[in-house]
Amino acid sequence: MELPKLKTVNTNKSTKKKILLLGDDLRLPSGIGTISKEIVINTVSHYDWIQLGGAQNHPDHGKAFDVSPDVAKESGVEDANVKIVANNGYGDRNILFAILHAEKPDAILHFTDPRYWAWLYELEHELKTTFNVPLFYLSIWDDLPYPMWNSPFYGSCDLIMGISKQSDNIHKEVLEQNGFGVYDFDLGDNKEDPNLEWDDVVTSYVPHGLNHNIYKPLSESDELYQRFYNEIKIKNNVDFVVFWNNRNIRRKQPGDVILSFKQFIDYLPKDKQDKVALVMHTEPVDPNGTDLRAVWKCIAPNCKIIFSDKKLSSQELNAMYNVADVTVNIASNEGWGLSSTESLLAGTPIINNVTGGLQDQCGFLDENNEWIGFDTKFSTNHKGRYKLNHGKWAIPVFPSNRSLQGSPQTPYIFDDRCNFEDVADAMYSWCMMTAEEREECGWAGREFCLTHGLTAQQMGNKIIDIMEFFFRYGKQKRPKYLLNKVENVTYKEMGIV
């Protein structure tokens, strides 16, 4: 009998751990999808990935894709291993268990709003006992007050990475105030012997990062730059452009952006008013927002407002940032604000509302000349405790009022609204600078991003560091049963007569 030929095995080749990613399909252009893609691209050298890629009315629902060749080409990692299971909505226990049985991942990484994933956290005990798989969470929370109703979600996690300094503080406060143990990876002195208990939650700050080799300053001779310069500035006969790149939804305040631009135009001499334009890269009409063309015609009929509603590649979008003179984001709730990061990496200065993750990107410094952080006593800079000492690349606009909004699922959250006249003042300030001064500020903003972890490569490295820390020290098997001693209490002691 002839024996089969044996293949040579490389015993020195390390076996990668596999991570199951839950969130928006990484092929989609949403903020979650964009960052999911950057995470996979920049960690695929360390991990294999499988994603349950969700979307409303997903065109590929029920199909599975091996995108390893595409990821290998883009990342340069020859042994990249990435699969996507497309799904309508955000899945359920049946599809999750099917993936867990088939793929046997070493961890689950959830990235999106917990409200859509309540079913996932209800399975926490089963995930950690039957499947012995830890639950990681890249988490966003836009604003205060502390969302105490999220404590069961946060407490179900083994590791939570907050995308903003405010989010990171919210996670720690909600956990600690509800009796959960917290190990702060960023402050932990002894990372070689952290003495983690099975029910401790590891926390860390992992800001969003983007590809700094795509979003970058372009020379005036660049072909894409010339194309958009001609389409925007030459065709419309303008020499100053305010850029707004967001979804047309209420919390992004698109109407206030137009109103602010109109106020800014009124500040200018008559002979200058026709030389500035507002470019809005969005859907002009959206049921979750408003009809922006109607707002334009009624509120600012004499202003040059250019709508860009065609899908653009990242390279084309970068060219638009380069052509723009300033980018504005005055969302009243904002977990991070990718358009501000894209703009800074492209070397274009910003106007930001001081809320959520937008305040991180303003570069506020404290009395020790250090990038501000948040804790119990100082949980947000919306009141301007640190007002003047910020990055030269930003003109921050502070909220003029805070309104407590809510819904049955999210009972309360502050809505931080800034005054449109303050935004107009910021536009005017950037306009009064020379092009050289704005360019210098923009380059300073790019340098800030490169040195403070706001690139995709740095984000990926931080995620690798903290997940490897957990795999080394934190993966203690959860007990299948917890026994609690119940004291004998009489009816009288309970107040029952």
pLDDT digits (tens, 9 = 90+) for 391-442: 999 999 999 999 999 999 899 999 999 999 999 999 999 999 999 999 999 9
pLDDT of amino acid 474: 84
Measure the CA–CA gap between 306 and 188, rounded to whole angstroms: 50
Which tens digits make up the pLDDT trace of 227-247? 999 999 999 999 999 999 999
* Location of structure tokens 């497309």: 86
Contact partners, residue 459, CB within 8 Å, separation at least 6: 35, 38, 39, 42, 206, 207, 208, 209, 453
The tens digit of pLDDT for each residue in 39-61 reads 999 999 999 999 999 998 899 99
Choose among 430, 446, 427: nearest CA to 438. Answer: 430
Q: What is the pLDDT of residue 196?
A: 85
User: 112 is written with which tokens?
Assistant: 């999106």
More confident residue, 458 or 9: 458
Is the pLDDT confidence value at 112 over 90?
A: no
Give the per-residue pLDDT at 311. Answer: 93
Q: Is 496 helix (H, G, I), strand (E, B) or coil?
A: coil
With a cut of 70, say whether residue 495 has pLDDT above it. no
Burial 248-261 (b: 16+ CB within 10 A, else e): bbbbbbbbbbbbbb
Which of these, 299, 297, 307, lies nearest to 248 by C-alpha position? 307
Determine the pLDDT at residue 189: 64
Q: Determine the distance from the C-alpha atom of residue 395 to the mean position of all C-alpha atoms in its chain, rounded to a whole number.
A: 21
pLDDT reading at 142 higher than 70: yes
DSSP state of 283: -
Q: How far apart are CA 389 and CA 313, in angstroms?
A: 35
What's the pLDDT tens digit per position in 61-92? Answer: 989 999 999 999 999 999 999 999 999 988 89
pLDDT of residue 6: 52
What pLDDT, on the 0 to 100 scale, is given for residue 9?
45
The lowest-confidence range among 26-35, 74-83, 209-218, 483-492 is 483-492
Q: Are strands 82-88 and 135-139 parallel, antiparallel or unpaired?
A: unpaired
Question: What's the distance, CA 300 to chain centroid?
Answer: 32
Measured in degrees and rounded to the nearest 5, phi and psi for residue 432 equal -75, -15
The percentage of residues in the chain with a pLDDT greater than 70, rounded to a whole number, is 94
Mean per-residue pLDDT over the chain, rounded: 93
Helix (H, G, I), strand (E, B) or coil at 253: coil
Q: Identify the pLDDT of residue 4.
A: 52
Is the model's pLDDT at 194 over the cut of 60? yes
User: Rounded mean pLDDT of 285-290?
Assistant: 96
Q: Which amino acid is at 465?
A: D
Least confident of 153-157, 395-399, 439-443, 493-497: 493-497
Average pLDDT over residues 198-225: 96
Residue 494: its pLDDT value, please? 60
Rounded Cα distance between 342 and 212, Å, is: 9
> In this predicted model, what pLDDT tens digit does every residue of 328-340 receive, in sequence order?
999 999 999 999 9
For the chain, the C-alpha Rg in angstroms (whole number) is 25
Predicted local distance difference test score (pLDDT) of residue 107: 97
